[in-house]
Amino acid sequence: MVVTVLVSVGIGYFLGAMQSGDESSTAAEVVADEAGKDVATAEGSTDDKAKGVTAAELAKLKSVAETVESPNGDFSLVTVIEGEEQNRFLRSSLQAVTNQRRNLAMLGQKFDQMDPKLVQQREILAGQINEIRQALQQNLRFMAQNFGYTLANNYLLVPHNATLSSLAGKGEDQIKTVIYTFADSESYKKFQEKTNAYTKLKRDQVMAYRETLTDEEKEQPLPKMPLTDDMKKARKVMIAEYKCDPERNYVVEFQKTALYFRRAQQ
């Protein structure tokens, strides 16, 4: 399970957006439809609901916004996740359900396309599908009971407190050093905007280069390309402000996040 998020080549973690349906982008990227993706887990969230704490009261208690505006419909506060362990559990649960849903979709498509005459192969594949479906249903029941999670909603996760750490070495000898601390959602948002902007510069460079290649050349690994002037400027800013070189790998870990929801559009 992914318990930390690497910031590699300028790709940062999300300020929001995880889609409740199948995910086509990487875990570190903002999904195009901006919706939320899977699960919520919060320290004391079920207790708060049992005590009848409203979203407004929870927002005031935890110093977060009650709602987050969005062009496609505002998001309302569900819970606040506090502590690295709770936030890691959030990511693990989310990734498990995401992978299971993706695998079900892939295997289901493969089963539909398989020749009906291949009886034995279809039975084996059907068994795999049933096994994943049962595991997914179990996870969804657990998440519904403990976190109020439902596929009928989209979710938005907003980081409030987080740390950015550099990595040195590998395996047990790897050393993690905190190089920047995000004290609120706005500071993290600014960092995310800069990482997204750098990512776009990298993608634009790759796309422009691929347009010059033949179909055969496109099948070959891309060479390491020199940084453009705009990339050099953006890199310099990130190093100066965050001690973060977007050409290297870093770890983002969350200590406090706020989870919001809205009904999924049909």
Residue 102: both structure tokens together: 């993706």
pLDDT at 98 over 70: yes
Give the 3-state DSSP-derived string for 5-19, with helices as H, strands as E and coil as C: EECECCECCCCCCEC
CB-based contacts of 36: which residues, under 8 Å, 6+ apart? 16, 17, 18, 19, 20, 75, 153, 154, 155, 156, 157, 259, 260, 261
Confidence of residue 90 (pLDDT cuts 50, 70, 90): confident
Could you report the per-residue pLDDT of 177-202, keeping only the tens digit for each? 999 999 999 999 899 889 989 999 99
Confidence of residue 78 (pLDDT cuts 50, 70, 90): confident
Looking at residue 266, its pLDDT comes to 57
Q: Mean pLDDT of all residues in the chain?
A: 78
Q: Which helix (H) or strand (E) holds 211?
A: none
Q: Which helix (H) or strand (E) holds 140?
A: helix 119-147
| Segment 10-30 mean pLDDT | 29
Closest Cα partner for 136 from 193, 96, 91? Answer: 96
| Segment 26-44 mean pLDDT | 28
Backbone angles phi, psi at 196, to 5 degrees: -65, -40
Confidence of residue 91 (pLDDT cuts 50, 70, 90): confident
pLDDT at 18 over 60: no
Answer with the residue of higher pLDDT: 171 or 100. Answer: 100
**Cα distance between residue 230 and residue 235, in whole Å:** 9
Closest Cα partner for 42 from 34, 31, 53? Answer: 53
Lowest mean pLDDT across 27-41, 42-56, 88-102, 124-138:
27-41
pLDDT at 15 over 70: no
